[in-house]
Chains A and B, each alone.
Chain A
């Protein structure tokens, strides 16, 4: 599987349904993995690229909603699309509150299914992109030396060079040197931008953006 390949998981205890959905999605060009129980799916390896799971709501043992809650708990970035035999309103409300992408009724037409999968994968793509962005930023901030970090902290706090110098017990000139290095390494042009990048780098993006 290549780095960016989108994976679609199908979790349905009915083997025949799982097999059919698997074929359809492979036919539509996705990498597909089919599981016949929520437990088996939970134990599967974490995908590299964006992923989504087509999950049957009612299954013996762990059901669809429990599986979704597990994924949220474990911080696993997998968009969930529910499939159900009957439109159960309380279950659909709970599913959407837990962050499900869609709630589809069986038998499902390919256009609805593929659309929901696209939405789910796009959302995962964005999450991954923003996470990569903040990872890159964090890398830039990580390259700062100890003294530069101290200066950065105080700049972000809104202190003037003079105040920083007094705070750290160094000359204002040295502060200026450190500060320009910080600006250079992080790519920020103004103090305000520096502050924004600093915040962005320290925010770990989870599911919703």
Chain B
């Protein structure tokens, strides 16, 4: 009788597989969202919907009433789990509806499940009378039972209405809170397909519509809507998180520049002082009877050099202040970054009686990444070193920044002569909110680590054998780049 190719089997199997795959997709997002409870419900719903389709298919090809009854009971359990998960998901994801509705739904459906599984002949079960064979419009035969409709059966229909009301309440809460997409996709989708299933199923039971039960497809549609929404939200959150992180990095950088503003002003003041004195000296020389033009020429040369010096600091500052935070994977030159940062910090370090020495490898390959972000890491490490030496005698305060080419990477180290780092503090240094400074926030080094790791590098700290601590970071070099002479 059965055709060798069964379209029904194909359709329902696809439904089983689709629900299951959507469930698995949700688990992956679930993991990224720190195992939020609402994902448990949507996952459970996907699994139950998958099983529901499987049992529906099994019912269609049952040959005796006992087997049919068994699958019917299992399917009822699945429907219960799907609806319960859906309502609980809606409660968490959209908003709380009336508690009594929730409780009523659970009670009615529990009675229905118990009735159908334990007392198939009892008062609240759907009583299966006999099996019949019906053909689809394409001529494939399937099994369906004739059912006796009892008054108690209308309880389930009432429960379906309550589910709709609850979903409506939840969606309304979500809508009011501005979560419109959620309300429409999740709330609206679920309501639409439950209504369709809720109308179709009684019609099949009553023998008016001569098709198999098609609850599975309604459920598949709901599961798909949920999955779509959850994944799109997770994706949006991830971009939001990234944007927030980058913005935080930029703000930290601006904060650091603010901290050293007095030092920067001092550093700009030096060339201005030299320019003014040079210009006034030149005026005096030119007013002499036989002005020494060579001297005046030297003065003008110095004025030009000092002007350029001030300009380069301002130029570097501008780059650090406004910068869109997309990681440019251009070649970055670490030595240039060190020079600029030391220029910006000269004033601040001078005010703190700190001698900054740089030992830059003469031929350093370029690294992959963003020079401004490397500057930020350097500035953070140098400022940390400066803070660490606030109790160190003036004449021993020293910071040495070294760059060394290593195998496939560039090593950068910042060494100070402060008190060093205790062994128990070392492992926590780069954790967020861990700080050794009295008024520190503990975000600086965590951000440094994130930047370095984003560049594919690593960062670590160690105590020096003599005095102080050294912070190191290594960045992978860009392949096939010309070595830039220092």
Contact = CB atoms under 8 A, between A and B. Distances in A.
Interface of A: 13-14, 16-17, 19-21, 23-24, 26-28, 58-63, 66, 83, 85-86, 106-110
A27 B272 CA distance: 19
30 contacts: A16-B271, A17-B270, A20-B275, A20-B278, A20-B281, A23-B278, A23-B281, A23-B299, A24-B278, A24-B280, A27-B281, A27-B284, A28-B284, A60-B350, A61-B353, A61-B355, A61-B395, A62-B394, A62-B395, A85-B265, A85-B266, A85-B270, A85-B273, A86-B269, A107-B276, A107-B277, A108-B273, A108-B276, A109-B276, A110-B277
B183 interface: no
A16 B306 contact: yes
Contacts of A106: 269-270, 272-273
Contacts of A83: 273
B269 A58 contact: no
A19 B302 CA distance: 9
Nearest to A16: B274
B103 to A, nearest CB: 71
Given A20-B302, A27-B284, A13 B278 contact: no
B251 interface: no
A63 B355 CA distance: 12
Interface of B: 262, 265-266, 269-278, 280-281, 284-285, 295, 299, 302, 305-306, 309, 347, 349-351, 353-355, 394-395
B276 A86 contact: no
A61 B353 CA distance: 6
Contacts of B299: 20, 23
A14 B277 contact: no
A62 B306 CA distance: 25
Nearest to A14: B270
A107 B272 contact: yes
Given A14-B273, A14-B274, A19-B302, 7 more contacts: A17-B277, A21-B277, A61-B395, A85-B269, A85-B347, A107-B277, A109-B280
Contacts of B277: 17, 20-21, 23-24, 107-108, 110
Nearest to B267: A85
With most chain B CB atoms within 10 A of its CB, the pick from A17, A20, A26, A107 is A20
A108 B280 CA distance: 11
A86 B265 contact: yes
A83 to B, nearest CB: 8
B309 to A, nearest CB: 8
Contacts of A13: 350
A19 B355 contact: no
Given A27-B281, A61-B353, A19 B274 contact: yes
Contact of B266 (A16, A20, A63, A86): A86
Nearest to B278: A20
B292 to A, nearest CB: 10
A27 B270 contact: no
Contacts of A14: 270, 273-274
Contact of B273 (A17, A63, A86): A17
Given A17-B274, A23-B299, A61 B394 contact: yes
Nearest to A18: B274
A110 B280 contact: yes
A19 B299 CA distance: 9
B392 to A, nearest CB: 13
Contacts of B302: 16, 19-20
A190 B295 CA distance: 61
Contact of B349 (A21, A60, A85): A60
Contacts of A58: 266, 350-351, 353
Contacts of A107: 269, 272-273, 275-277
Contacts of A23: 277-278, 281, 285, 295, 299
A151 B275 CA distance: 66
A61 B284 CA distance: 34
B274 A20 contact: yes
A31 to B, nearest CB: 15
B354 A60 contact: yes
Contacts of A21: 277
Contact of A16 (B265, B305, B351): B305
B278 A59 contact: no
A23 to B, nearest CB: 4
A19 B270 CA distance: 12
B199 to A, nearest CB: 81
Nearest to B395: A61
Contact of B353 (A24, A63, A86): A63
B270 A16 contact: yes
Nearest to A85: B266
Contacts of B265: 85-86
A109 B275 CA distance: 11
A82 B345 CA distance: 23
Contacts of B284: 24, 27-28
B274 A59 contact: no
Nearest to A19: B302
Contacts of A109: 276, 280
A32 to B, nearest CB: 11
Contacts of B349: 60
Contacts of B270: 14, 16-17, 85, 106
B239 to A, nearest CB: 43
A73 B280 CA distance: 35
A99 B305 CA distance: 36
B295 A63 contact: no
Nearest to A83: B273
A21 B277 CA distance: 6
Nearest to B296: A23
B287 to A, nearest CB: 9
Contacts of B306: 16
Nearest to A111: B280
Contacts of B281: 20, 23-24, 26-27
Nearest to B309: A16
A177 B295 CA distance: 68
B312 to A, nearest CB: 14
Nearest to A113: B277
With most chain A CB atoms within 10 A of its CB, the pick from B262, B274, B275, B306 is B274
